[in-house]
Structure 1
Amino acid sequence: MSDTIEVRQGEEVDTVVLHRFIKEQLHDTPDGELTIRQFGAGHSNLTYLLQVGDWEAVLRRPPLGTVASKAHDMEREYTILHTLNQVFEQAPKPYIFSADEQIVGRPFFIMERRKGIVLDSEFPSEVTYTAELGRKISQIMVDQLVALHRIDYKKTKLIEMVKPEGFLKRQVSGWIGRFEKAKTSEIQGMDELRVYLMNHIPESQSPTIIHYDYKLNNAMFSEDFSEMTGLFDWEMTTVGDPLADLGVAMSYWIQEDDPEILKNGLGDPPVTVLEGFYTRGEFIQAYAEKSGRDISSIHYYLTFAYFKLAAICQQIYYRYEKGQTNDERFANFNIFVEYLIQYAVESSKKVG
Structure 2
Amino acid sequence: MNEEPAEVAAVRPGEELDWAALERYLRGNVEGLAGPFAVEQFPNGSANLTYRVTVGERRLVVRRPPFGEIAPGAHDMRREHTTLASLWRAFPRAPRALAFCDDHAVIGSDFLVVEYRPGVVVWGAVPSSMADQPDAARRIGFAVVDALADLHLVDPAACGLDGLGKPDGFLERQVAGWRRRWERVGGDAGALAGRIDGIGEHLTSTMPTSSRTAVLHNDFKVDNCQFAAGEPDTVVSVFDWDMATLGDPMVDLGILLNYWPDPSDPPDARAVTPPGLEAIGLPTRREIVDRYAERTGHDVGDSAWYEAFAAWKTIVVLQQLHSRWLRGESTDPRMAERGELIPPLVRRATSILAGAAG
Same fold? TM cut 0.5: yes
Matches within 5 A, 1:215-254: 215-225=221-231, 226-254=233-261
CA contact under 8 A between 1:272 and 1:278: conserved in structure 2? no
Residue of structure 1 aligned with 2:330, choices 297, 300, 325: 325
2:267 is equivalent to residue 260 of structure 1: yes
CA contact under 8 A between 1:123 and 1:129: conserved in structure 2? no
Residue of structure 2 aligned with 1:291, choices 275, 292, 296: 296
Q: How far, CA to CA, are the matches of 2:106 and 2:221 in structure 1?
A: 31
When residues 190 and 243 of structure 1 are mapped into structure 2, their CA distance, relative to the original with a 3 A threshold, is same
Q: In the alignment, which residue of structure 2 is the partner of 1:73?
A: 76
2:92 is equivalent to residue 89 of structure 1: yes
Size of the aligned set, in residue pairs, is 349
2:112 is equivalent to residue 106 of structure 1: no
CA contact under 8 A between 2:41 and 2:50: conserved in structure 1? yes
Name which of structure 1's ranges 302-311 and 225-234 shifts more when overlaid on structure 2.
225-234
Q: In the alignment, which residue of structure 2 is the partner of 1:7?
A: 11
Q: How far, CA to CA, are the matches of 2:323 and 2:273 in structure 1?
A: 18
CA contact under 8 A between 1:251 and 1:302: conserved in structure 2? yes
Q: How far, CA to CA, are the matches of 1:243 and 1:267 in structure 2?
A: 20
Specify the code of the residue in structure 2 equivalent to 1:240: G
Q: TM-score, normalised by structure 1?
A: 0.94
Structure 2: 5+ residue runs without aligned partners? none
CA contact under 8 A between 1:189 and 1:342: conserved in structure 2? no
Shift of 1:348: 0.7
2:25 is equivalent to residue 21 of structure 1: yes
2:215 is equivalent to residue 209 of structure 1: yes
Q: How far, CA to CA, are the matches of 1:251 and 1:69 in structure 2?
A: 23
Q: How far, CA to CA, are the matches of 1:256 and 1:38 in structure 2?
A: 33
Q: 1:42-84: CA deviations, max 9, x gaps?
A: 1100100000221100000001111101211111110111110
CA contact under 8 A between 1:205 and 1:242: conserved in structure 2? no
Q: TM-score, normalised by structure 2?
A: 0.93
CA contact under 8 A between 1:140 and 1:228: conserved in structure 2? yes
Shift of 1:270: 5.0
Tell me how large the CA RMSD over aligned residues is.
Answer: 1.7
CA contact under 8 A between 2:76 and 2:243: conserved in structure 1? no
Matches within 5 A, 1:129-168: 129=132, 132-168=135-171
Q: In the alignment, which residue of structure 1 is the partner of 2:312?
A: 307
Shift of 1:272: 4.7
Q: In the alignment, which residue of structure 2 is the partner of 1:195?
A: 201
Structure 1: 5+ residue runs without aligned partners? none
Q: How far, CA to CA, are the matches of 2:143 and 2:51 in structure 1?
A: 27
Q: How far, CA to CA, are the matches of 1:145 and 1:173 in structure 2?
A: 25
